[in-house]
Chains A and B, each alone.
Chain A
């Protein structure tokens, strides 16, 4: 069993749609990271959150520590949002457990 589960694995959306990516984890954590990996391969850190909600532009991340669940929302999706989104949680050994990623394609 993976410590971090993401869903869906693949997602295709029309431009303008509201998108939700989910992340569930089984380990106790104090923070969760959302990462974005573009087709070119580079990884960008989107959010690090430990409670509640954070917003950056059209991206919103929420976390419920009690339910061990986080969501990443994209409002008014755009083709440039096409990427792989990865959820990562640190363990007590100071390593990341990574989700398998959600591959998002936004069609114009």
Chain B
């Protein structure tokens, strides 16, 4: 158990809908990272938050947004969903704002858009 909790584990929704994925980092970790893993593109970095502030941004679509709350949990919001958004979404946490420290991954949320 990495200590990172993601909910829900599975999500099936229709095109055009909006969903929210949730991540609770390991106790004491200040950074949360979101990744998307689709079959044809592998793991891709989406966005990082550190202590409530956006720290780094990757290939995140404008239809996607995220935030980190004062209790350090984070939510990834995906809207106007398309079939191509079907993927595994992972969050990871680390103690600092840098990836030069160990990162711990959640079990992922498998999103299926039909």
* Chain A interface residues (CB < 8 Å from chain B): 30-31, 33, 35, 41-45, 48, 50, 86, 88, 90, 93-96, 98, 100-101
Contacts and interface: CB of A to CB of B under 8 A. Distances in A.
A58 B56 CA distance: 35
B105 A44 contact: yes
Given A94-B48, A101-B42, A50 B105 contact: no
Interface of B: 2, 33, 35, 42-45, 48, 55-56, 58, 88, 90, 92, 97-108, 110
A39 B98 CA distance: 29
A88 B105 CA distance: 13
B99 A42 contact: no
A45 B103 contact: yes
Contacts of A35: 105
Contacts, number: 60
Given A33-B103, A48-B102, A43 B42 contact: no
A43 to B, nearest CB: 4
Contacts of B48: 94-95
Given A44-B2, A45-B2, A98 B105 contact: no
A42 B110 CA distance: 10
Contacts of B42: 98, 100-101
6 contacts: A30-B100, A33-B99, A35-B105, A45-B103, A50-B100, A98-B44
A43 B102 contact: no
Contacts of A30: 100
A43 B56 contact: no
A31 B105 contact: no
Contact of A94 (B90, B99, B105, B106): B99
